[in-house]
Amino acid sequence: MTEYTHGTERDQHSPPGDGSTKPDKSHLERARATATILGRRGVAGALERTRIALARPTASDIATMVLTLLVCLVVGGSLIGARLAAVATAGGVVAALTAILLASPNPAVRAVGGALAVPTSVMVTAPIVVAWAFAFGIAGFGPFAAVTVWALIFAALAGTLVSWDKLGDGGARKAATGATLAALGVIGVVVVRVLPEAGVRERARDAVVDVGALALEFVVDPNQSMAALSFFGLTIAVALALGFTSRYLPFERLVPPDRRDALSNAVAGVGSGCSLVIRGSIVLGLVAVFVPVVVDQFEEIPVTPLELETEVPAPLGALLADLLTSGALRYLLLGLLGVLVLAAFGEWVRRALRRGLAGVLARVCAPMAGGVVLALGLAYAVADPAIEATLESLIVQLEPQSLAELLLEFPTFGLVAALIIVALGMLSSLLGTVSTLRTIRVLPPRAIGAALAAVGVFALAISLAIIGRPETAIWTAASAFVIWDIGEYADGIRAELGREAATMRAELVHAAGSVVTGAIIALGTVGLYRWVASDIPLIDRRLAAAALATGLVTLALVAWVLRK
């Protein structure tokens, strides 16, 4: 007892710098406890945010989601195989749930969303890469298979978000921004990690110069095969930037109050014009890709300016070729794009300073931090010699050669992190496409999820009709109508009565009526097709398209009558 007391007194009177480790252990334990609490709060907040975003989905919401996913799995599986269809559908569903977290105003929830964006981007990237391989003929069945994969991803994404009210209110745009911020965070960490390497520093300058020159050449002076797509892509980028900047900048402060109405009308006119330009560019880009598939005169995919000049009657062919290859016009568009981006960034900085820089930085850095933590963990976990050998075999095929030499100097961790950055970029582009479709007014202001899901399912119907399966195409088109009708009704219920209203019976009656109506019209269209096609081969594409168009017109008329 005496020794214990003596020892205790000695410990109590010991000087603070006697080398004791007890205070260090105490600080470490408190730090771990704090980190654990913050992590639990972040996860709990993320789950709560997801629950709130999808809270109280109506019966019509659930029916729309289930029907969309069912059609994606069944029809997509018959077109591109059950495994690829399941992967594409699952990627769309997971991307939808991650988008809800990335669009949250809560920094902790955005951090969790940034972390989940890493595995989500990997799931989304796999089918997207396959779709691009299909589109450019590298593998698979051609561009229509690529359309099928894209349709499955978008339909599953929209079907899952059918009850998310913020989808058309900037939610998709904020989610795309969050994914981009997560990618930027990973880029920063990779640069800090690999820049001290002597080999990296030696080859970085040449790689940056060569990649910049290659990108500028693609935009300003592309080869024949990419001239059309690069021109339409640049046009879309400029139109998007112009439409956004015209709405974002406070031009009304520059004019007297009595002229602000005229200014608002002018800004609205600019936005409408930009929407028309974007839609026209998208249509022309699709035409450039798909015309060689159905027209024998064109052999290259996509159409080249040389083919336009030789196959299209003069002077229209020469005019189109000159437009697609004009370097001066491309430089002008590129300069305008740079000015618009700088103007929008300057306005964002001004607004951030007015709102409070600390809060803005917290929301900006949160997805970066989440993405960095999980990306680093994943990169270090999968970094092994086998993966390094596989990545090196792919890197040596890259162009320019200076970029391949630079990447070969990276450690395995850096190579895996670079792949994660590419995957996050693809996830951001996917979510940004949804926002763009709403911005250019392809999607309606209401029931955006249902409309996009119906468009995706209808794209599956088009693929079925083109490959010579018109009856299945008719049933799929009818499913698109049913998905849109039920989803639009669900949106109306939420807007007018709220989620808490007791509308189960009315929703079930409407859903059943919509399914029965779609089935009756589809049966009638199939019967009409069989009667007309009794002496005509079933593979006739024009007949399949005519039958599909007849069914769509009939469905639209029936829907209009029922609404009245």
pLDDT recorded at residue 342: 94
Tokens of 124: 């989304």
User: pLDDT grade, residue 155 (50/70/90)?
Assistant: very high
465-492 exposure pattern, b = at least 16 Cβ within 10 A, e = fewer: bbbebbbbbbbbbbbbbbbbbbbbbbbe
pLDDT at 350 over 70: yes
pLDDT at 8 over 50: no
Q: By C-alpha distance, which of 473, 461, 437 is closest to 152?
A: 461
User: pLDDT grade, residue 395 (50/70/90)?
Assistant: confident
pLDDT recorded at residue 42: 56
Mean pLDDT of the chain: 79
pLDDT recorded at residue 38: 58
In this prediction, residues 300-314 reach a mean pLDDT of 75
Least-confidence region, from 42-56, 349-363, 519-533: 42-56
Tokens of 277: 């330009």
Question: What percentage of the chain carries pLDDT values higher than 70?
Answer: 80
pLDDT recorded at residue 22: 43
Per the model's pLDDT, the better-predicted residue between 440 and 121 turns out to be: 121
For the chain, which residues make up each domain, given as ranges? Answer: 199-355
Are residues 43 and 101 in contact, defined by beta-carbon separation less than 8 angstroms?
no
pLDDT at 163 over 70: yes
pLDDT at 35 over 80: no
Which residues, at least 6 apart from 482, have a Cβ–Cβ distance to it below 8 Å? 67, 514, 515, 517, 518
Least-confidence region, from 298-307, 336-345, 486-495: 298-307
Are residues 414 and 194 in contact, defined by beta-carbon separation less than 8 angstroms?
yes
Are residues 200 and 300 in contact, defined by beta-carbon separation less than 8 angstroms?
no
CA separation, residue 526 to residues 252, 271, 475, 515, 520 (Å): 56, 42, 8, 16, 10
20: left (phi over 0), alpha (psi -120 to 50) or beta: beta
Per the model's pLDDT, the better-predicted residue between 72 and 39 turns out to be: 72
Which residues, at least 6 apart from 502, have a Cβ–Cβ distance to it below 8 Å? none
User: pLDDT grade, residue 141 (50/70/90)?
Assistant: low
Least-confidence region, from 167-171, 365-369, 433-437, 486-490: 167-171
- Rounded Cα distance between 555 and 437, Å, is 24
User: pLDDT grade, residue 554 (50/70/90)?
Assistant: low
SS3 track for 66-124: HHHHHHHHHHHHHHHCHHHHHHHHHHHHHHHHHHHHHCCCCHHHHHHHHHHHHHHHHHH
Instruction: Please state whether the peptide bond connecting residue 411 to the residue before it is cis, i.e. omega within 30 degrees of 0.
Output: no
Give the global pTM: 0.76
Could you report the per-residue pLDDT of 228-286, keeping only the tens digit for each? 888 888 999 999 999 889 988 888 888 888 888 888 888 888 888 988 898 888 888 88
Tokens of 97: 């749930």
pLDDT at 12 over 80: no
| H helix or E strand, kind and range, residue 458 | helix 448-466
Tokens of 358: 């600390």
Q: By C-alpha distance, which of 514, 471, 466 is closest to 64?
A: 514
